[in-house]
Chains A and B, each alone.
Chain A
Amino acid sequence: MNRGLLAGLALLLAFQLAGEGVAPLLPLPIPGPVVGMVLLLTALGLRVVKLEWVKGAADVLLSRMGLFFVPAGVGVIAHTELLRREWMPIVAALLVSTVAVLAATGFTERAVARLRGRRRG
């Protein structure tokens, strides 16, 4: 690992740590890493942190983000009993709801963008 990557990882971890520290003080249950993301975005915006300090490490992590979810998914085997009993409503609810959310989010964004465009134009 070259020095740039390691420094970038150190910054990402430092912002995560700051996020974990701030998160319990907030009135909503927002996870520390999400707070850390907002803090890093603010620091980039204020130019306290330069983009090139974190870009390399961020690109490496983001290009392999799927890998980090795999262990969470393997966790299903600890709940086979419940899944065997109720797999049908669970799978159906996830499929139906995912398609519904994709449509609701995408078309609402389009509709509001178009309305605003018309008002402007």
Chain B
Amino acid sequence: MAELARTPLFGVALTIVVYVLAEALYARLRAPLAHPVPVSIVTIIVTLLLLAVPYDAYAAGGKLLLFLLGPSVVALAVPLYVQRARLAERALPITAGILAGAVTSIVTATLTAKGLGASHEVVLSLAPKSVTTPIAIGLSERIGGIPPLTACAVVLTGCIGAALGPELCRWMGLRDPVATGLAVGTACHGIGTARMLEVDALGGAVAGLAIGLNGLATSVILPLVLRWVG
């Protein structure tokens, strides 16, 4: 068993089996909080702890699945291209929304953490939490955060967005699919976008656009905003 758990097959098989079951559960319950991403993460963590499998053994297979994130990000060009006419019409409001979101993300995350007594390194690690994992890790390194903690913060943020992003927008009174998709993509990057693609095709395309643009915007303004709030 211990030998088998060290092969990449174990991590890949466990993740896909759990995810497929979580998807089936989600299809039954239709409750946003039961989104397959957070449910799978918790189930796999519990499984690893119960079987006493070290994280490194799981990661050997996990890395293979993580690899597919790269071509998936490239694939976001497809919904963008399909929806290009409707997006070009609203280029200015979309840009303004993303900039507002990028600044709000850094300011509210750092000030809340600081106010509640988090250590300086943790505060810095949370600053890039709304951008996609590869950009967030690079930024965390540059500003003196703890990159693995940033990766956790990014995924947790994404899970909030996948579970409740479209619902929170509706409760706040946002009904427009472009505004909702933009908000979910800017706040919750790829995981939020995955959920948005299930909810609405146009909203999903806008969310995909927001991943790239918020990554760009945050890369530029993070050092400037941190000088002010950090």
Q: Which residues of A contact B (CB under 8 A)?
A: 9, 12-13, 15-16, 19, 28-34, 36-38, 40-41, 44-45, 51, 54-55, 57-59, 61-63, 65-79, 82-83, 86, 88-113, 116
Q: Is the CB of A94 within 8 A of B129?
A: yes
CA distance A109 to B183 in the complex (A): 9
Q: Which B residue's beta carbon lies closest to that of A63?
A: B197
CA distance A75 to B158 in the complex (A): 14
From known contacts A41-B80, A66-B191, infer whether A71 and B66 are also in contact, taking CB-CB under 8 Å.
Answer: yes
Q: Which residues of A contact B59 (CB under 8 A)?
A: 71, 75
Q: Is the CB of B41 within 8 A of A61?
A: no
CA distance A32 to B108 in the complex (A): 28
> Which of A73, A89, A102, A108 has a CB less than 8 Å from the CB of B122?
A89
Q: Is the CB of B116 within 8 A of A93?
A: yes
Q: Is the CB of A38 within 8 A of B70?
A: no
From known contacts A76-B152, A89-B113, infer whether A69 and B158 are also in contact, taking CB-CB under 8 Å.
Answer: yes
**Total B residues in contact with A, Cβ cutoff 8 Å:** 116
In chain B, positions 175-211 with a C-beta closer than 8 Å to chain A are 176, 178-180, 182-184, 186-188, 190-191, 193-195, 197, 210-211
Q: Which residues of B contact A (CB under 8 A)?
A: 11, 15-16, 18-19, 35-38, 40-41, 44-45, 48-49, 55, 58-59, 61-63, 65-82, 84, 90, 92-94, 96-101, 103-105, 108-110, 112-113, 116-119, 122, 126, 129-130, 132-135, 138-139, 142, 146, 148-149, 151-162, 165, 168-169, 172, 174, 176, 178-180, 182-184, 186-188, 190-191, 193-195, 197, 210-212, 215-216, 219-220
Q: Is the CB of A61 within 8 A of B75?
A: yes
> Do most interface residues of chain A lie in helix, strand or loop, or is the interface mixed?
helix
Q: Which residues of B contact A36 (CB under 8 A)?
A: 70, 73-74
From known contacts A68-B65, A90-B126, infer whether A75 and B152 are also in contact, taking CB-CB under 8 Å.
Answer: yes
Q: Which residues of A contact B65 (CB under 8 A)?
A: 67-68, 70-71
Q: Is the CB of A73 within 8 A of B112?
A: no
Q: Is the CB of A28 within 8 A of B219?
A: yes
Q: Is the CB of A101 within 8 A of B187?
A: yes
Q: Is the CB of B186 within 8 A of A105?
A: yes
A-B CB contact pairs (8 Å), 20 listed: A16-B71, A28-B219, A31-B135, A31-B215, A33-B70, A54-B75, A65-B194, A67-B40, A69-B190, A70-B65, A74-B55, A82-B122, A83-B152, A89-B113, A94-B160, A96-B109, A104-B97, A105-B101, A109-B97, A109-B179
Q: Is the CB of B93 within 8 A of A112?
A: yes
Q: Which residues of B contact A29 (CB under 8 A)?
A: 135, 138-139, 142, 219
> Which of A55, A68, A78, A101 has a CB less than 8 Å from the CB of B186?
A101
Q: Which A residue's beta carbon lies closest to that of B165?
A: A102
